[in-house]
């Protein structure tokens, strides 16, 4: 289970006055853009040393959710960029493709109270994803590099054309 980094950052910035958000966001970025879990944990420690006096709830939130944050580091950088584009988020803006798809799928099932079978949900999602993909106009940043890594890491799931 991967906790959404976008939501972690947004939640963290809820505790920070507007004037300080850029600075706090920059320090948070050192955590989630770290190359390894160990380095990320060091950056979290440095963040806490700097900001815990003024905003202790931020460090506490990251520590409380750390097990679900670090699964992000199981993937190589090429895949991380597709999961979450760190340069796109500073004060809450995101072009996160996964978040966008999830929102679209939630919208599709929102008006339905129940489904007769699991297969019915699967078919609905299949049709919805077909419609959603037709609306995509902007390519996903660094997709070619990510696709190469997906092919290596998830060879058994990807079938070449």
pLDDT digit string (tens) for 7-49? 889 899 999 999 999 999 999 999 988 999 999 999 999 999 9
Residues 81 and 44 in one domain: yes
Q: Which long-range contacts (CB under 8 A, 24 or more apart) does 120-124 make?
A: none
Residue 96 confidence class, pLDDT cut points 50, 70, 90 = low
Query: Does a structural domain hold residue 144?
Result: no
Residues 47 and 112 in one domain: no
Tokens in use for 1?
Answer: 């289970």
CB contact at 8 A, 4 and 12: no
Tokens in use for 145?
Answer: 């590099």
Residues 76 and 102 in one domain: no
Residues 21 and 80 in one domain: yes
Domain count, the chain: 2
Residues 10 and 84 in one domain: yes
Query: Does a structural domain hold residue 38?
Result: yes
**DSSP letter (8 states) at residue 155:** T
- Give the tens place of pLDDT for each residue, 104-158: 888 888 888 788 999 998 999 999 988 887 776 656 667 788 788 888 887 777 7
Query: Does a structural domain hold residue 72?
Result: yes
Residues 83 and 106 in one domain: no
pTM: 0.65
Helix (H) / strand (E) element for 139: namely none
User: In the prediction, which pLDDT does 92 show?
Assistant: 39
Tokens in use for 152?
Answer: 């290596």
Q: Which domain holds residue 11?
A: 5-88
Query: Does a structural domain hold residue 36?
Result: yes
| Domain boundary residue, one of 48, 64, 88 | 88
Measured distance CA(54)–CA(9) in Å, rounded: 17
């Amino acid at each position: 289970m991967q906790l959404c980094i976008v939501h972690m950052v947004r939640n963290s910035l809820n505790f920070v006055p507007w004037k300080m958000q850029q600075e706090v966001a920059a320090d948070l970025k050192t955590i989630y853009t770290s190359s390894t879990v160990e380095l990320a944990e060091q950056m979290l420690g440095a963040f806490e040393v700097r900001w815990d006096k003024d905003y202790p709830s931020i460090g506490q939130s990251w520590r409380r959710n750390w097990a679900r944050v670090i699964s992000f580091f199981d993937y190589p950088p090429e895949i991380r960029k597709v999961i979450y584009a760190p340069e796109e988020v500073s004060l809450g803006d995101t072009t996160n493709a996964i978040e966008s798809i999830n929102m679209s799928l939630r919208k599709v099932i929102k008006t339905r109270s129940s489904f007769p079978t699991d297969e019915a949900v699967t078919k609905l999602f299949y049709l919805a994803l077909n419609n959603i993909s037709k609306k995509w106009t902007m390519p996903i940043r660094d997709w070619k590099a990510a696709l190469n890594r997906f092919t290596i890491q998830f060879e058994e799931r990807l079938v070449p054309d």
